[in-house]
Structure 1
Amino acid sequence: MDIKLTAKEILEKDFKTGMRGYNQDEVDQFLDVVIQDYESFSQQIEKLQTENRKLRSELENAPKKQSAPAPGTTNFDILRRLSHLENHVFGSKLHNE
């Protein structure tokens, strides 16, 4: 996302006037609203970028979870526990089908 204008550039922009041009006061009032929105968007973007940096830092510094099984646990132990869990949850339905 390329930002082409700053709030200051919008504020300082001068338009040439013509014989049948727009009402200058009306244009100025509209541009004032645009500038306010622009400043709000810039503040919101900065706030979100700061929050994003903070969260990324927390994620990088968070302790890593251990994905390996506990020491002393074998695949056989895991399969046995899974079998017991299936029997407990599904009971006789598992063996009658």
Structure 2
Amino acid sequence: MDIKLNSKIILEKEFKKAMKGYSVDQVDQFLDQIMEDYDAFEKILTELRTENTRLKEELQNASRRPQPNQPVGNTNFDILKRLSNLEKHVFGSKLYE
């Protein structure tokens, strides 16, 4: 899916003139609009390619960095159990009065 046209090719395109052909001015105006669009598309495409390259590099660099250690085995149940044991130790029999 290669891009076959650019604004320079569009600008330099010559059409044969016929007696009952299209209005040259209208064709030129339309080609000018197409050239503007192609220039805008090329600019956007260049920006997106640059961003894509930058993001790929960031992704590669991120995968090379060591990941921080995640806490092991601390679930909500474990935390609640520890809290319960702590309350029993601190408050003793007063906890259930």
TM-score (structure 2 length as normaliser): 0.69
Once the two structures are TM-superposed, the CA of residue 65 in structure 1 deviates from its matched residue by: 2.2
| Partner AA of 1:84 in structure 2 | F
Gaps of 5+ in 1: 89-97
- Please state whether the residue corresponding to 2:4 is helix, strand or coil: coil
Task: Please list the CA deviations of residues 20-49 of structure 1 after superposition, one character each: whole Å capped at 9, or x if unmatched.
Answer: 000001100110000000010001000000
| d(CA) in 2 for partners of 1:41, 1:28 | 20
Amino acid at match of 2:75: L
Task: Tell me the secondary structure at the aligned position of residue 28 of structure 1.
Answer: helix
Q: Which amino acid aligns with 2:33?
A: V
What corresponds to 2:59 in structure 1? 59
d(CA) in 2 for partners of 1:48 and 1:22? 37
The residue number in structure 2 matching 1:84 is: 77
- In structure 2, the partner of 1:3 is 3
Label 1:24 to 1:65 Cα distance change in 2 as closer, same or farther (>3 A): same
Q: Identity of counterpart residues, as a percentage? A: 43
Pairs within 5 Å for 1:1-97: 1-62=1-62, 63-65=65-67, 78=73, 81-82=74-75, 84=77
What's the CA shift for 1:2?
1.6
- The verdict on how the C-alpha distance between 1:85 and 1:17 changes in structure 2, with shifts beyond 3 A counting, is farther
Runs of 4+ that moved beyond 4 A: 85-88
Which structure has more helix as a fraction of its residues? Answer: 2
Distance 1:19 1:86 in 2: 89
Q: 1:82 to 1:10 in 2, by over 3 A?
A: same
Instruction: State the Cα distance separating 1:17 from its structure 2 match.
Output: 0.6
Count of paired positions:
79
Distance 1:17 1:8 in 2: 21
Structure 2 CA distance, aligned partners of 1:55 and 1:83?
A: 36
In structure 1, the partner of 2:94 is none
